[in-house]
Structures are given as structure tokens and as C-alpha cells.
Amino acid sequence: MDKVELKFLRITYSHTHAGAYALILAEAQGDRRLPIIIGGVEAQAIAIQVENIKPARPLTHDLFKNVADTLSFNLKEVIINDLVEGIFHAKLVIEQNGREEGIDARSSDAIALALRFDCPIYTYEFILGAAGLKVEEGEEEKEAAEAGETKKSGKGREKRPVSAATIDELRTMLEEALDNEDYERASKLRDEIKRREQTN
């Protein structure tokens, strides 16, 4: 089967699944998107890597990476290799001493690890054909704008206090969020701090 390379695009709030998120992968050489519904914990694990936030203690995926580095094995690639009743399945292709092994994984864990190992993400054409969404010409900008709007509005609870806080208060809130391991909030606070620093 021909493999199709995918790139991580973004994570957005899911409009159809309460409390869930949509992990969006983009076809590397094409205009299709593969949305995968994931939970909040899984979204956090991916978001802290994308936002380059360093947790106080290693999370599970960071621990896996540390073990791999210590034992000298590498994650060569991740393949989203099946779609069963709407659930995506994935495989980790591990390489050690010239030998490769495939290990089953949840798609969210596979993507979180792929981002940490900086390895390619693939799927098969039959999966992209069945679950992929084609982005029409001109929709790219609209899609990006909507994602930005979603990110700014968030859940609505934090919008007012964050916007009303001074930059020093934001830094304090960021430290508290990191101490509490609330990485989703930390990434929002960090974005707001960066935005203000750029406008000053």
C-alpha cells in the first residue's frame, strides 16, 4: 500500500464532541486534511511539545523519549494504519541496531511521540480517502482565521481575566499554571505574553 505523508497542522476545540479536541493533520503534498478527535489530556501532551513548554517533571511521552535515548533506539516513523468504526489506529516503527519493529499505539500517542522524535507521520491512501477532508482553494485563509478565533475565545472563562491582567501578572499566572501542570492554560498565557511583548 502506498503511504501518504502527513504534517501536524494544529489542534482546535471540537465543535461536535463536548470536552474533546480535533487534531488536524495535513497532507504534505496535497490539499487534504485528516481530523482526529482526541481527549483533553492527549491534546495537552501534544500542545506542550508544539508550544515548546518544558514541564517540571517528564510526562509519559517525554519519559518514552528519554528511555529511547538512553537505550539507543529510535522512532523511525509513525503510521496511521487503520480506521475501524471511526477510530484511528496507529503503528510506531522502532529502529534499533538496523532492526525494525512495529508497535501498536493510539493515534494521539503516536502523534505526540512523532513530534518529540521529529520523525515523519504517514497514513495510507484508503484512510485518507475515507476520512480526509479536501480544502478548497481560498478556504486555507478562512480556516486559519477560524482557528485563530477559536484559540482567542477558548472556553470563554479565561478571556476577561487574562486580557485585564498586567504583563507581570500574566507571568505569575504562567508560573502557577506550570506548577499546577495545566499546560493548556500555560500555552494560552504564553501566547498572550508574546503578543503583548511584540506590540510594546
CATH code, domain carrying 118: 3.10.690.10
E-strand stretches of the chain: 3-13, 21-27, 32-38, 74-84, 87-96, 99-106, 121-124, 133-134
Question: What is the model's pTM?
Answer: 0.71
Q: Which of 151, 161, 141, 147 is nearest to 188 (CA)?
A: 151
The predicted pLDDT at position 147 comes to 42
Q: Are residues 64 and 93 in the same domain?
A: yes
DSSP strand pairing (74-84 vs 87-96): antiparallel
Give, in degrees to the nearest 5, the angle at Cα 9 between 8 and 14: 110
Per-residue pLDDT tens digits for 31-57: 899 999 999 999 999 999 998 888 888
- The residue range of the domain holding 174 is 154-199
What mean pLDDT comes out for the span 58-76? 94
What DSSP state is assigned to residue 30? S
Q: Are residues 163 and 80 in the same domain?
A: no
Q: Are residues 120 and 174 in the same domain?
A: no
With bands split at pLDDT 50, 70 and 90, how would you rate the model's confidence at 151? very low
Asked, for residue 7, whether it belongs to a domain, the answer is yes
Q: Are residues 66 and 9 in the same domain?
A: yes
Asked, for residue 35, whether it belongs to a domain, the answer is yes
Q: Which of 183, 181, 20, 46 is nearest to 107 (CA)?
A: 46
Q: Are residues 9 and 42 in the same domain?
A: yes
Q: Are residues 79 and 128 in the same domain?
A: yes
Asked, for residue 143, whether it belongs to a domain, the answer is no
Asked, for residue 139, whether it belongs to a domain, the answer is no
Asked, for residue 141, whether it belongs to a domain, the answer is no
Per-residue pLDDT tens digits for 95-130: 999 899 999 999 999 999 999 999 999 999 999 988
What mean pLDDT comes out for the span 173-200? 76
Q: Which of 12, 6, 5, 7 is nearest to 144 (CA)?
A: 12
